[in-house]
Chain A
Amino acid sequence: MIEADSAEITRRTRRRAPNVDKGGVRRRGDSVVSPQPRTGVAALVRARAARPAALEWQEARLPVLGRLWATAWLPSVLLAGCLVALMYLLQTSGVATVGYDIQHLQVERDDWQLRNEQLRLELAKRRSLTWIESEAVGRLGMVRAEPTALAYLKLAR
């Protein structure tokens, strides 16, 4: 199989390179980079060995992929479009869900802030002089201190 391919390639190469004679003599317009091998078959084998394997694989498979592309491009585009649409849908619905979650949390936060305000007020009421006095006198039975109970002491300097 390889032998047959080599022969085919050799024929093609001969047809495609009319400016190279058997002796490898350079003519006008030829490349000056490297001299051509003198023996045709051996040169072709060496050239074949030097070519990348992927290129050969591509060359071998191109007609198959082409056929595949010709039949499958429409479903592929549709599939890709569906995937993109699905992802967009998922993302937007996700954002919407998060948005509603945020709204819910904001309401919850406001509720806690409101409770906080009410507790602050309750605290202020419990610290008010009116309440303290009523508790002290009414519940604890305390009496008002006489202002004269305060005495100042003179300290020696």
Chain B
Amino acid sequence: MGLICALFLGCALLMVWRLFTFQVVDTLRYQQLANDERHAEIPIKPIRGALLDTNGSPLAVSVRYDSVYVLGTLVGGADKADKLAARLSPVLDVPAAELRAAIDPSDGRPKVLKSGVPSAVAEQVQQLALSGVYLDKEPIRQYPEGSLAAQVLGFVGRDFNGLGGLELSYEQELAGTPGTIDTEKDTGGQEIALGRRLLTPPRQGSDLVLTIDRYAQRVAERLLNQAVLDNKASGGLILVLDPHTGDILAAANNPTYNLTADAIYNPQQADRYKAKIVTDQYEPGSTLKTVAMSAAIDAGVVSPGTTMNDTGIAVVGGATIRNWNGAANGTSTMTDILIHSANVGMVWVSTQLGADRLYDYYARFGLGQPTGVRLPGEVGGTLRTNRDRGWTRVDQATNAYGQGIAVTPVQLLQAVAVLANDGQLVRPRLVRAIRGPDGIQDLAPEVERQVVSPKTAHTMLQMMQAVHEQPDLKPYRVPGYHIAAKTGTADTPTNVGYNTALTVGSLVALFPAEEPRFAVLIRLDGPEKLYGGVVAAPVLKDLAQELLTYYRVPPSP
């Protein structure tokens, strides 16, 4: 009896000791274990901001859709997999054979059967209550306007991070900050209603209001695609800028990529994913004569009526420079030089101006430096000045007519737009407002500097108007409007000189000439008919008509 009592007493003491250990000695440890068991931190993904056109039309938005997954091992064998595919096929609108091929009954990893499934369809799938099939909501980047302005907008990866264009350069603003729900869950994984719940709300991504106008963009893309086809060109671009604010209204590229494809990125066409308006530099050819001539007029070296004798040949530093057509234009005014696009005349102008002032003006026009338009991969162009090693007088001569110098399309248009803005250089921009959780942040246009005097700018507009109204371009005039323009044909550089059979035909224009509302660059790469005046001028006419009508610009007085 005493032994039994002692045994019981011993057991009781043991239990008391264990209880004491659990409750007192190891309290913190067991509390921690219990908390870890119940504790759950549910992440809340922020909604990525949208890209809107200047009028608020969505160009890229994030919308959550259901994805239908299958877990092969839970399906229950090949027969059931067949039945599952047959039942899901009409609901998901996917052939049963395709679904069946995706289901591997021995695979324990989840596999996507279809993503981007609308809620109504997801509900039908849920009602089927199929073993091994489950749904998960995932955001998908959608482009309501299709592939409009694809290179500018860019795209996102599977992790929803921007991989190109504005999606990449404005990643911080668009992405937002994730939030969390710090809570407790029951054994079924459900949140305990009376448990601890600490909500850290996510900061939603901001919407970007772009300067792109979807109508102008669409018109530009349509005309560009047609021009590339008509001229059998390898590609091209159209850039439309508001010269007073620097707003890029349209930036069309050809070739581009498809934003609505299931797999947007194709590594074999990597070149298409660059924002070429800032990443690709090229020799602008005669379109740059407007900048060199502006510099000479602003410096007071020449005036529109100043004359020189164009013999068709200029010898500089031992190199012979000829006009594009080999013609000798004789006594020519500065306006004539622009009208005939005379290289020899521009060599003379650059000599009068001098290297120091030429390159100083080029720098003030923004050449050789990035514009800061905030697109990924922007380059500053290539400009070898008289302060650089290897520079020769030939560089000065060729730079005056746009060869031996490389610019990006945005750089060139920014420089030409100075003439439409009373001589002020405005930084081009693609985003005019950021709509975030804290309100709307309007971004004001940034005036960089006064490059030339307003008088010089007006003089240049008149000279460029004379260029566009020359007889050769008469078919491409727009009835009722005056346009200031300059065409350009640049030979493409190779390792052994220039290829004259492969050109870049381009044109810059400011219209209406009296008070320009638009600065336009049209460029066709490798056109069959070679010359900018032939291939780009017709496009300008159509584009100007569309834009002037759409923006309700009254005719010139």
Contacts and interface: CB of A to CB of B under 8 A. Distances in A.
19 contacts: A96-B193, A97-B193, A99-B193, A111-B119, A114-B119, A118-B63, A118-B65, A121-B63, A124-B57, A124-B58, A124-B144, A128-B144, A128-B145, A129-B145, A130-B145, A130-B146, A130-B148, A147-B545, A152-B554
A39 to B, nearest CB: 74
A148 B545 contact: yes
A48 interface: no
Given A96-B193, A99-B193, A147-B542, 10 more contacts: A92-B194, A98-B193, A114-B64, A115-B119, A118-B65, A118-B118, A121-B61, A124-B61, A128-B57, A129-B148
A127 interface: yes
A116 B190 CA distance: 26
5 closest cross-chain pairs (CB), A and B: A99-B193, A147-B545, A124-B144, A130-B146, A115-B119
A102 B194 CA distance: 12
Contact of A129 (B120, B137, B214): B214
Contact of A95 (B119, B146, B194): B194
Report the contact-size class of chain B (Cβ under 8 Å from the partner).
20 to 34
B546 interface: yes
B215 interface: yes
B266 interface: no
A99 B194 contact: yes
A150 interface: yes
Given A96-B194, A147-B545, A147-B546, A118 B145 contact: no
Interface of A: 92, 95-100, 102-103, 111, 114-115, 117-118, 120-121, 124-125, 127-130, 147-148, 150, 152
Contacts of B58: 121, 124
Given A92-B194, A148-B545, A129 B479 contact: no
A97 B120 CA distance: 28
A71 B216 CA distance: 96
Nearest to B478: A147
Contacts of B214: 129
Contact of A100 (B63, B119, B193): B193
A147 B546 CA distance: 6
A124 to B, nearest CB: 4
Contacts of B555: 152
Contact of A117 (B64, B194, B546): B64
Contact of B119 (A92, A96, A102, A118): A118
A103 B191 contact: yes
Contacts of A99: 193-194
A126 to B, nearest CB: 9
B142 interface: yes
Contacts of B145: 128-130
Contacts of A114: 64, 119, 137
Contacts of B57: 124, 127-128
Contacts of B497: none
B364 interface: no
A134 to B, nearest CB: 10
Given A100-B193, A148-B479, A125 B144 contact: yes
B501 to A, nearest CB: 34
B480 interface: yes
B63 A117 contact: yes
Contacts of B480: 152
Contacts of A148: 479, 545
A114 B215 CA distance: 29
Residue among A99, A103, A118 with most chain B CB within 10 A: A118
B54 to A, nearest CB: 14
A129 B194 contact: no
Residue among A92, A103, A117, A152 with most chain B CB within 10 A: A117
A123 to B, nearest CB: 9
B549 A128 contact: no
B193 A103 contact: yes
A117 B61 CA distance: 10
Nearest to B139: A117
B205 to A, nearest CB: 14
A129 B149 CA distance: 13
B517 to A, nearest CB: 16
Interface in B47-91: 57-58, 61, 63-65
B86 to A, nearest CB: 27
B39 interface: no
A14 B231 CA distance: 137
A92 B195 CA distance: 12
Residue among A96, A111, A147, A150 with most chain B CB within 10 A: A147
A124 B193 CA distance: 39
Contacts of B193: 95-100, 102-103
B218 interface: yes
Interface string B516-557: 000000000000000000000000001001100100001100
Given A118-B65, A124-B144, A130-B148, A147 B119 contact: no
Interface string B357-377: 000000000000000000000
Nearest to B219: A129
A125 B214 CA distance: 13
A129 B145 CA distance: 7
Contacts of B190: 103
A127 B214 CA distance: 12
Nearest to B66: A114
Interface string B211-226: 0001100100000000
B93 to A, nearest CB: 16
Contacts of A120: 61, 63
Interface in B172-216: 190-191, 193-194, 214-215
Nearest to A129: B218
Interface string B102-141: 0000000000000000111000000000000000010000
A89 to B, nearest CB: 13
A60 to B, nearest CB: 52
